[in-house]
Structure 1
Amino acid sequence: MSDQSKSDSQGLTNRDYAVDLLRAFGGAVIFAFPLLMTMEMWWLGFTMDRWRLVLFLALNLALLEGLSFVAGFRKAFSLKDDTLDMLAAYGVGILASAALLLAFDLISWGMNADEVLGKIAVQAVPASIGAMAARRQLGDSEEEDERPDCYGGELFLMLAGALFLAFNVAPTEEMILIAYVMTPWHAIVLVVVSLLMLHAFVYSLEFSGQEEKPGGNGFWRTFWGYSLAGYAIALLVSLYVLWTFGRTDGVALGQVAMMVTVLSLPSALGAAIARLIV
């Protein structure tokens, strides 16, 4: 190949990557926008326990690394490429979050640095997930599906979706109110509804991108191996997110169980949606 041809090829690659970064920015804005408009998210930036925030950000980086392998915003075939994509997505998430917070005057130069950094850090979590998912949602629909066809990969996608949707709901006061007014019978019904919805969304309602039953398994094997496992993940994610945001501090065990049950509905839906769209 001539030097000119190499230069043209490299130039095309750089242009494509620039387009991917712009898609990532668009995905970051779309995913971050609902949370940006909630007062509870503004408060979390300076009230959230800093050690819990650091742990949450570390887990977010691990999640982005996994999503980069499963559905990064560019095709990558090595750990180095996946890591670079993870860092790029997180960087885009930070920039998009800072830009939106500045645009709404939610951060300013006169604010305490700890408050500014806290707000950006919290908001960058959904924004970075949106940036990473942008290639699937905003890119070429004819791109080859690179998702690993394995049980662990399926469960990981459920975890990512559950975490994202739980993160959208957990900071709100309404979620706490619902858990407070519900009776144990309401909680039992909600568990059944959440579990059935997760299974139906992924395997029964024939949505675009719906999964075939893994390995030709029958209903019960699929239900126990995937749907029930996915709901268990949704419960654990719900408990973790509530703890991260301080919702479980000083709260009776029964009330914590009610909050987890309430949050498991959006978590389960998030797990199902992730299986459909990623």
Structure 2
Amino acid sequence: MAAADQTAVTNRDYAIGLIRAFAGAIIFAIPLLMTMEMWALGFTMDPVRLLLFMLLNFAVLLGLTHFAGFEATHGLRDALCDALAAYAVGVIASAGALALIGIVAPGMPWGEIAGKIAVQAIPASIGAVVARRQLSADSDDEEQAEKQRRAGYLGQLFLMAAGALFLAFNVAPTEEMILIAFKMTPWHGLATIIVSVLVLHAFVYVAGFSGQEEIGEAGHRATFLTFSIAGYGVALLVSLYVLWTFGRTDGVSIGEVATMVAVLGLPASLGAAIARLIV
């Protein structure tokens, strides 16, 4: 194939990848784009915490592009370009959607507009990254599976953390989560923890979903401890961080924080469990 033809094919493939990225950004972010609490967070969040969250999100994007970028990546440079493109897609898609439904409009303070877009761009950018796997008819599942196998134990924990972050982010801003934590008794909290761990283990190792892990040579007990319990621990840490970022832990007792973390740990553990299915 001539160099010009090869360049044309490459550009066409990249353009298709960008279209999928925009579709993934909107699909994954649409519930939060229409959530009142998310609109408020855009101008009430601590700017330092928001900036820290944006930097963390970019680090997550950089890791995810290695497994499921919206085009095949080969090396750090490609992954970095993919992550930057995904973040740009998340910003543009969020700005367009918020403008379409009238949440950002001319005349608003620039700080408020930027804050609203910055918050919404986080889930949208994650959706842009995983769009290749979810929306492409020709995605290479074997290639992605091989990348995940080579990533090893820490790579698996990273994918769990990314999945936990995405689902925890979807519910942490809502008032309903605080209400649930307030109404729960300690026994409810304990039951939630047990169910979260069992569901995570079942989704990853038992249910037979595509992309699930195999029980290692160490056996069920060691696998349960090193992956399921460790994955749930990661989900709890992610939940605590998200709650702190949104100011949910400010001025709250340790017991109430623990209950909120247990509540948010349920969707976070589900996110950790399905991470390999969507990435």
Task: Give the structure-2-normalised TM-score.
Answer: 0.96
Letter of the 2:54 counterpart: L
Q: Distance in 2 between matches of 1:113 and 1:201?
A: 44
Q: Deviations over 1:179-234 (max 9, x none)?
A: 01101111111100000000001110112332222x44421111001000000000
Deviation at 1:40, TM superposition (A): 0.2
**For the Cα contact (< 8 Å) 2:130–2:278, is it kept in 1?**
no
**For the Cα contact (< 8 Å) 2:133–2:139, is it kept in 1?**
no
Question: Residue 6 of structure 1 corresponds to which residue in structure 2?
Answer: 3
Deviation at 1:138, TM superposition (A): 0.7
Q: Please list every run of at least 4 consecutive aligned residues from structure 1 whose deviation after the TM superposition is greater than 3 angstroms.
A: none
**For the Cα contact (< 8 Å) 2:172–2:242, is it kept in 1?**
yes
Question: Residue 85 of structure 1 corresponds to which residue in structure 2?
Answer: 82
Deviation at 1:141, TM superposition (A): 4.5
1:148 paired with 2:145, answer no
Deviation at 1:139, TM superposition (A): 1.3
Unaligned runs of 5+ in 2: none
1:190 paired with 2:192, answer yes
Partner secondary structure for residue 31 of structure 1:
helix
Deviation at 1:142, TM superposition (A): 4.9
Question: Residue 41 of structure 1 corresponds to which residue in structure 2?
Answer: 38
**For the Cα contact (< 8 Å) 1:158–1:270, is it kept in 2?**
yes
Question: Residue 58 of structure 2 corresponds to which residue in structure 1?
Answer: 61
The alignment-based identity, stated in percent, is: 62
Partner secondary structure for residue 65 of structure 1:
helix
**For the Cα contact (< 8 Å) 1:161–1:272, is it kept in 2?**
yes
Q: Deviations over 1:136-193 (max 9, x none)?
A: 1011345142333111111000000000000001000000011011011111111000
Alpha carbon RMSD of aligned pairs, Å?
1.0
Question: Residue 167 of structure 2 corresponds to which residue in structure 1?
Answer: 165
Q: 5 Å matches for 1:94-173?
A: 94-143=91-140, 144-146=142-144, 147-149=147-149, 150-173=152-175
Q: Distance in 2 between matches of 1:179 and 1:158?
A: 24
**For the Cα contact (< 8 Å) 1:56–1:244, is it kept in 2?**
yes
Q: Distance in 1 between matches of 2:278 and 2:212?
A: 9
**For the Cα contact (< 8 Å) 1:175–1:263, is it kept in 2?**
yes
Q: Deviations over 1:13-47 (max 9, x none)?
A: 00000000000000000011011111000000000
**For the Cα contact (< 8 Å) 1:155–1:230, is it kept in 2?**
yes
Q: Distance in 2 between matches of 1:217 and 1:42?
A: 48
**For the Cα contact (< 8 Å) 1:211–1:276, is it kept in 2?**
no
Question: Residue 181 of structure 1 corresponds to which residue in structure 2?
Answer: 183
Do the aligned partners of residues 46 and 142 (structure 1) sit closer, same or farther apart at CA in structure 2, a change above 3 Å counting?
Answer: closer
